[in-house]
Amino acid sequence: MHDFLEFMSLREPSVRYVVLSCVLLGAAASMVGVFGFLRKRSLVGETVAHSMLPGIGLAFIISGSRDPIYLVTGAVITGWMSMGFMNWLTRKGPIKVDLALAITLTGFFAIGIGIMTYIQRGSFGDHSGLDHYIFGRAAAMEPSDIRVFGGLAAFVFVSVLLLFKEFMGLCFNREFLSVLGLPVRFLEFAISFLTILAISSGIKAVGIVLMAALMIIPAAAARYWTGSLRWLLTLAISFGVIAGVAGAYISFQARSLPTGPFIVIVLALITAISVIFAPEKGLFSRWAKKKRLSRRVAAENFVKEVYQIIEKGKDKNSNISKSEFIVHFHYSPRLFFRSLRWAVARGWIVPAVDGMKLTQRGFSKGEELNRLHRLWEIYLARKAQTPLEKVHHSAEIIEHILTPELEAEIRLELDLCDNFSPQNEIHIKA
Amino acid sequence: MNQSVFSSSKVQKKSEFVGSLRHTFEIMEGKSKMSSAENAIEIENLMVSYHHKPVLWDIQLSLPAGQIIGIIGPNGSGKTTLLKSIMGLLPLDSGTVRFFGKPIKEVRGRLSYVPQRESVDWDFPANVRDVVLMGRYRKDNLFKRLSKEDHRIANEAIEKVGLTDLAKRQIAQLSGGQQQRVFIARALAQQADIYLMDEPFVGVDAATEDAILKLLAEMRDEGKTVIIVHHDLQTAYSTFDWVVLLRTRLIASGPKSEVFTAKNLQNAYGGKLSILSRLGDILSEEEIELGKKEPS
C-alpha cells in the first residue's frame, strides 16, 4: 500500500512522466476505440497493431538507431500499409472482412517476427530493448520515448475532440453526411489515421501484441453503463486511463514483468464488473428484473384464483381458508406461502385467523386480471382464428402484461361496449 | 446529341461540357428560361449498374419544383438506386443530373436526404437531438461547435414532428414511427429546397403517417420539392401530385392522372421477365462495364 501511495504521489520525476504518458495513451486509445466499436471495426485495431512489428524492425535496421521517432515512423507506415492491404483484399473478389483481417494480421506479424529474429542474429549494434515493443515495458520508457509517445497521444486526443460531432455523424449515417457535402473521405481517412497514431503511441508502454485491448475493451465495457455517446466516451476514457496507470504501476513494481498483460487483466476486471453490475444491461439487474416479474406474476395469479373462488358464489368479504384454496388449485405448500406473502406485500390480501381475505384493491385486481384474460381469449379466437383449445394458455401470460392502452385498443377492435364484463361472456375452457 | 452507351468517362466529361455550352447558348437565346426555373431536377441519359448488372437504363427525366413526387415501381426496379444516384451517392456509368440547372456541387446545401429507416443501426448511442442536429452539420463548421442558432433550428424541427417531449430520449428506445420522425426532423433542420425520402411510410404507425403527410403538404405549400420512393401502389395516388413509374427504365413520368394508366402499370408491374433483365444477366456474367469502352 505504501508503495502504491508513493507511486501515486508522483514524487519521482521518472515515475511522473511515465504515468503521464500512460494516462495520455490510455485516453487516446480508448477514445478512438469507441469510434471503432461504433463502426463495428474493433478488430481492425488488433490487426493494425500486430502489423507494426515489421515496421519497427525495418526502421531499426535502416536507421541503425533505437530513437523512438524512427521506430514510430516505421510502425505507422506498416500499420497504414496493413489497412490498405485489408481494404484491397475485401474490395474486389470473394474475401470477406474477417478473412482479410486474419490474413493481414498473421501475415504482417509473421514478417515482423522474421525481421526481429534476423536482427537478433545479425550485427546491428545495440538492439536491446527492441523486444519491449512486443509485450510492453512502461518503466523502460526514457524521456525521449515519453516525448514522442505522449505527444502522439495528446495529438490524437485533441483531434478527436475537435472532430467529435463529425465522427459521430460518420459512424451513425455516412451517406447523410455525404449528401450534406461534408468531406466524408477525409473524415474516414482521419479516423483511420488517428487510430493508427493512437495504437503507435502505446507500442512501447503496452506492446503491440496487446495494445488493441486498450482500444476495444474500454468501449465495450462502457457500453454496458450508458446509452449516450458523451458518457460512453467519458467512461471509456476513464477505464483506459485506469488501466494505463495500473500498467505503469506494475511495471515499476516488478521490473521484469511486461506491462501489456497486466493492463489487459485490469481491463478484464473492469469488464467483468460492468457485465455483472451495470444497471439495465448488467447480468445482475437483468436477473433482478426477471425475479421481480416472476414474483408479480405469482402474486397476481394467486389473487386471481382467490377472486375466482369468490366469483363462484361467495361473499366479497368472506374468508378463504388454505384448504379451500388448495382444493381448487393445486399449489405446493411452498408456492402457496410464497405467493401469499407476495400478494400480502402488494396489499391485495390480508391474512385472517382462519385463512385470508381479499382487500378492495385485491378484489379489483382479480377482476381486472379475469377481464383481461377473457378479453385476450376472445381477441385470439375472433381476430387471430386461434383454435379454442389454445387461447387459454396464451391468455395466462398475456393477462399480466396487457396495458390499459392496449386493452382499450382491443375493445375498439372487437367492437365491445365499455361496460363489457366477462361474466356476460361464456368462459372459453381450456 | 446522341450519347453512346459505351462512351468512356472522358467522352462523358466532354459531353457534359458540350451540354453546358449548349445550355449557355440556349440561355443566351432565351430558349430555356422556363425549363431551369420550373424544374427542380433534370436527369439525362442516366445509367447505373451494380456488379455490371444495369439497375437504371437510360433515364431521361425532368421533375417539377414545388410538388410531391412519388417514385413508384416493383421490387428491384431501381427506385432507391435512382434516389441515391441523384444525390451523387453512387457512381454513374453515364449521364448527368442537374438541380435548378446547376450541377450537384453548387447545390449541396439545398438537398436533403431521408434514408430508409433500416439503413442505420438504431442501437447507436445518441439521443433525438443529437441526430436532428446532424442536419446542421456543414463543411464550414467542421472542427467547430454548433451555434445557438443551429440548436434553435433543430428544436423547431423536433417540435414540427411532435417529438419535443422525447428530445433527450435515446434513439434506441423510440418506436419505428418515432424513429422515422427523427429522420424527417433532421431533414427539416437542414432547411433545404429539395427533399429526397426513401420509403418514409414503411413500418410507421397511422399517427406518424398522418403527421408526415401533413408536413409534406406544408412543405409543398412553402414551395419545397419533395421526392419520395414509395413501393405501395395502393396509397400512391392519394399521396403524390406527380408520379415517376420505374422499372429499370423509365416507364412514365408526369401528373398522376396521366401516369396511372392501365398500360403504364402493366408495363411496370406486368409479369414477364423483361429483355433488360435478361441482358443484365449476360452483362454481369461477362463482367462488361457499361459506360466504358467495349472490351477489345
Q: Rounded to an integer, what distance in angstroms lies between the CA atom of residue A218 and that of residue A241?
A: 10
- Distance between CA atoms of residues B165 and B181, nearest Å: 13
N residues, chain B: 296
In a mutagenesis test of the B interface, which of A38, A164, A171, A173 is the best target, namely the one with the most B β-carbons within 10 Å?
A173
The residue length of chain A stands at: 430
Write down the pLDDT at residue A402: 84
For residue A185, give the DSSP letter.
Answer: H
- Residue A175 C-alpha cell reads as 451517406
Model ipTM value: 0.80
Which residue of chain A comes nearest to B85, CA vs CA?
A179
Query: Do the strands B111-114 and A355-358 form a parallel or antiparallel pair, or are they unpaired?
Result: unpaired
Burial category of B43 from C-beta neighbours within 10 Å (exposed 0-12, middle 13-18, buried 19 and up): buried
The answer, for A87 touching chain B at a CB cutoff of 8 Å, is no
Q: At what angle do helices A42-50 and A52-63 cross, to 10 degrees?
A: 30
Q: Facing residues of B68 across strands?
A: B226
Tell me if B239 is assigned to some domain.
yes
With CA atoms as reference, the chain B residue closest to A173 would be: B120
- H-run or E-run covering B256: helix B256-259
A2-281 belongs to which homologous superfamily?
A: ABC transporter involved in vitamin B12 uptake, BtuC (1.10.3470.10)
Hey, is the C-beta of B146 within 8 angstroms of any chain A C-beta?
Answer: yes
Question: Which residues from chain B sit within 8 angstroms of residue A178, using beta carbons?
Answer: 87-89
C-alpha–C-alpha distance, residues A9 and B169, integer Å:
42
Residue A226: its chain B contacts at CB < 8 A?
Answer: 125
Residues 6+ apart with CB under 8 A from B209: B177, B201
| Cβ(A80)–Cβ(A196) below 8 Å | yes
- DSSP structure class, residue B124: S
CA distance B102 to B88: 14
Q: Cell 445482475 sits at which residue?
A: A284
| Nearest Cα residue in chain B from A162 | B143
Q: Is A212 helix (H, G, I), strand (E, B) or coil?
A: helix
Confirm whether B253 is domain-assigned: yes
User: What average pLDDT does this structure show over B225-242?
Assistant: 90
CATH number, residue B69 = 3.40.50.300
Contact call for residues B45 and B94 (beta carbons, < 8 A): yes
Domain annotation covers residue B296? no
What confidence score (pLDDT) does residue B149 get? 95
Pick the CATH number of A363-424 from 1.10.60, 1.10.10, 1.10.260, 3.30.43: 1.10.60
The reply to whether B185 falls in a domain is yes
Bigger pLDDT: B283 vs A178 = A178
**Using one digit for the tens of pLDDT, what is the confidence trace for B199-214?**
999 988 888 898 899 9
Question: Closest to B115 (Cβ–Cβ): which among A166, A173, A228?
Answer: A173
Chain B residues within an 8 Å CB radius of A227 = 125, 170, 172-173
Contact B108 A162 (CB under 8 A): no
pTM for the model stands at: 0.82
pLDDT confidence bin for B243, thresholds 50/70/90: very high
pLDDT, average across residues B55-73: 92
**Domain-embedded: residue B295:** no
Asked if pLDDT for residue B216 goes beyond 80, the answer is yes
pLDDT in tens, chain A (430 residues): 677 777 777 778 878 888 888 999 999 999 999 999 999 888 999 999 999 999 999 999 999 888 999 999 999 999 999 999 999 999 877 889 999 999 999 999 999 999 999 998 877 777 788 888 998 888 888 888 999 999 999 999 999 999 999 999 999 999 999 999 999 999 999 999 999 999 999 999 999 999 999 999 999 999 999 989 999 999 999 999 999 998 888 888 887 788 888 899 999 999 999 999 998 889 999 999 999 999 999 999 999 888 888 888 777 778 888 888 887 888 888 888 899 899 999 999 888 877 888 888 998 999 899 888 888 888 888 888 888 788 888 888 888 888 888 888 888 888 766 556 655 554 444 3
Per-residue pLDDT band for B248 (boundaries 50, 70, 90) equals confident
Structural domain span for residue B245: 9-286
Give the Cα separation of A153 and A200 in Å (integer): 9
- Residues A173 and A178: their CA atoms lie apart, in Å, by 9
pLDDT in the model for residue B33: 40
How many whole angstroms separate alpha carbon A368 and alpha carbon A362?
10
**B62/A51 Cα distance (integer angstroms):** 52
pLDDT at residue number A236: 97
φ and ψ of A336, to 5 deg: -60, -50
Contact A207, A133 (CB under 8 A): yes
Mean pLDDT of B119-137: 95
- Residue B142 placed within a domain: yes
CA angle B98, B101, B103 (to 5 degrees): 45
Q: For chain A, what percentages of helix, strand and coil (3-state, to nearest 5) are there?
A: 75, 0, 25
Q: Report domain extents, chain A.
A: 2-281, 285-358, 363-424
| Cα(A11)–Cα(A73) distance, integer angstroms | 32
Q: Which of A254-258, B25-29, B40-44, B242-246 has the lowest mean pLDDT?
A: B25-29
DSSP H stretches of helix in B44-173: 79-86, 104-107, 128-133, 148-160
List the end-to-end C-alpha distance of chain A, in Å, as a whole number. 68
What separation in angstroms does the CA of A399 have from each of A49, A367, A376, B15?
A: 55, 11, 7, 69
CB contact under 8 Å between B146 and A177, yes or no, is: no
Q: B115 touching A, CB under 8 A? A: yes
**Do B198 and B80 meet the contact criterion of CB atoms below 8 Å apart?**
yes
- Do residues A280 and A290 touch, judged by C-beta distance below 8 A? no
**Buried (b) or exposed (e) across A239-252, using 16+ Cβ within 10 A?**
bbbbbbbbbbbbbb
| A174 phi/psi in degrees, rounded to 5 | -60, -45
CA gap A226, A234 in Å, rounded: 10
Q: Are B248 and B55 in contact (CB under 8 A)?
A: yes
**What residues are paired with B62 via a beta bridge?**
B42
What's CA A171's distance to the chain center, in Å? 17
| Distance of alpha carbon A71 from alpha carbon A67, whole angstroms | 7
Chain A residues touching B134 at Cβ < 8 A: 165, 168-169, 172-173, 176-177
Fold designation for A285-358: Arc Repressor Mutant, subunit A (1.10.10)
Q: Do A168 and B130 touch (CB under 8 A)?
A: yes
**A351: part of which helix (H) or strand (E)?**
strand A349-352
Between CA B150 and CA A66 the distance in angstroms is 50
Least confident of A6-10, B93-97, B135-139, B275-279: B275-279
Mutate to test the interface with B, among A91, A165, A170 (most CBs of B within 10 A): A165
Burial of A294 (0-12, 13-18, 19+ CB in 10 A): exposed
Number of domains observed in the structure of chain B: 1
Q: Whole-number mean pLDDT of chain B?
A: 83
Closest of A90, A13, A16 to residue A248, by C-alpha: A16
Contacts of B49 (CB under 8 A, 6+ apart): B55, B93, B280, B283, B289, B290, B291
Which residues of A are less than 8 Å from B89 in CB distance?
Answer: 175, 178-179
Bridge partners, residue A59, by sequence:
none
Alpha-carbon distance of B201 to B183, in angstroms, equals 12
Q: Which of B85, B102, B134, B289 to mutate to test the interface with A (most CBs of A within 10 A)?
A: B134
The answer to the question of residue B252 being in a domain is yes
AA identity, residue A97 = V
Residues B175 and B205 sit within 8 Å (Cβ to Cβ): yes
Distance from C-alpha of B104 to C-alpha of B110, rounded to nearest angstrom: 9
Nearest to A13 by CA among A141, A149, A153, A154: A141
Average pLDDT over residues B9-29: 51
Partner-chain contact B137 A173, CB within 8 Å:
no
Residue B293 in domain = no
